[in-house]
Amino acid sequence: MKGDNENLTLLIVDDEAELRRSIGTVLKRRGFDVIEASNGEEALRMLADRLPDLVVLDLKMPGLPGIETLREIRREHTRLPVLILTGHGDFESALAGIKLDVVDFVTKPVDPELLATRIRELLARERHATLQEATIRELMLGPERYPRIYSDESVTAALDALRRDVLEPASGSPQHKPVRSVLVYDRKERFLGIIRLGDLLKLVLPGFLADSPYATYFTGMFLAQCKVMSNRVVKELLPAPVIVDADAALMQAVHLMVKHRLSNLPVMSKGKLIGILREKEMIAEIAQHREF
C-alpha cells in the first residue's frame, strides 16, 4: 500500500546546502519526492519544467529574495501551496508573503521533523479547502441586536438601556445575550457613536481625580457624582467614534481595537452603520485558526 505522501513532490528552495540536505533526508523518509534549488532563479526555471505539489521557500537568499521569488511564482501558479522559512526578525516580510497567498510559514532554525508535520497538515488542508481569512462582514453582529438612544436624551436613558440589557436579561427573551453597549443616533437617524459600560464608569470619576496625582476620596463622593452625571445630555459625553470600514482588512480592526482599548467596533459602509464587530467574535476566530 502506498503511503499518504508517496508521489507527492516538494521543491526546497534554500541557499544553504546543508539545510537542504537535512530537510530533504527527513522528507524522503516520510515518503515525499524531493527536488532542490539553491536560489530563486533556479527554482523558477525548475517550476517551468516540473510543477511540485508544494514549495518550501527560504525568505532570505542571495540574488532573488524569497518574497520576490514568490511574486514570480504567483504570476503563473496562483494556488500552488508555499511554505515560507523565515527568521524571527522577518515577520513583516512574512506578512507580505501572506498577502500573496502563502498559506503557512515556519521560523528558523528549522526542526525537520516539525517541518514534515506542517507540510503534511498543509497539504491535507489544501485537499479539502483553501484557507481563507474571515471578513469583517462575516464576524460582525447586526446593529438591531443593540439598544439605541438619541443624542439629545439624558445619560439616564443610556443607563436604563444598559441596565435592561445587562442586569435584567431574565425579563427578556430566553435567547437574549447582553451586548453591553448602546448605539447613539441623532434625530435624523444618523449614527454618532457607541456608549459602552466602561464609558459610563469613567463618567462617575470627577475630572479633578482623573487628572490629579494626589487624589483624595471621601464617603458620599460616588453618590454625588452619580446624580451629577445622570442629568447630563448624551451628546456632551459621547466619545469620539472609532470606526472601521466593512471592506477593511481584519487586521485593521484588530489594530483599532487594541490601540483604543475597545471591546467592540462600529462597522460602516457608505456612511451607514451596518454592524458591530466584538472582541468575543475576534477571540473565537483566533482560537479557530491558532497553530502552535
- The amino acid occupying position 180 is R
Q: Which range of residues forms the domain containing residue 153? A: 137-289
Please give the pLDDT value at position 131. Answer: 53
Counting the structural domains of the chain, the total is 2
Q: Are residues 121 and 173 in the same domain?
A: no
pLDDT at 152 over 80: yes
Asked, for residue 155, whether it belongs to a domain, the answer is yes
Asked, for residue 38, whether it belongs to a domain, the answer is yes
Q: Are residues 53 and 193 in the same domain?
A: no
Please give the pLDDT value at position 292. Answer: 37
Indicate the pLDDT class of residue 100, thresholds 50, 70 and 90. Answer: low
- The amino acid occupying position 25 is T
pTM: 0.56
Alpha-carbon distances, residue 133 vs 88, 107, 139 (angstroms): 23, 21, 11
Domain containing residue 87: CATH number? 3.40.50.2300
Please give the pLDDT value at position 1. Answer: 32
Asked, for residue 252, whether it belongs to a domain, the answer is yes
Final residue of a structural domain among 79, 101, 128: 128
Asked, for residue 224, whether it belongs to a domain, the answer is yes
Final residue of a structural domain among 60, 93, 128: 128
Look at 146-150, 199-203, 260-264, 275-279 and tell me which has the smallest mean pLDDT.
199-203
Q: Are residues 14 and 101 in the same domain?
A: yes
**Is the separation of the CB atoms in 186 and 192 below 8 Å?**
yes
- pLDDT 10s digits, 195-249: 998 888 888 877 777 666 677 788 888 888 888 887 789 998 888 899 999 999 9
Identify the residue with better confidence: 120 or 185. 185
Q: Are residues 56 and 110 in the same domain?
A: yes
Give me the helices (H) in 58-184, please. Answer: 66-76, 91-98, 112-128, 136-139, 155-162
**Closest Cα partner for 123 from 47, 26, 53?**
53
Domain containing residue 229: CATH number? 3.10.580.10
Q: Are residues 77 and 217 in the same domain?
A: no
Final residue of a structural domain among 128, 152, 172: 128
Alpha-carbon distances, residue 10 vs 23, 36, 40, 185, 223 (angstroms): 11, 8, 15, 57, 70
- pLDDT 10s digits, 27-66: 998 889 999 999 999 999 999 888 999 999 998 899 998 8
Indicate the pLDDT class of residue 4, thresholds 50, 70 and 90. Answer: low
Asked, for residue 23, whether it belongs to a domain, the answer is yes
Asked, for residue 2, whether it belongs to a domain, the answer is no
Q: At what angle do helices 91-98 and 66-76 cross, to 10 degrees?
A: 0
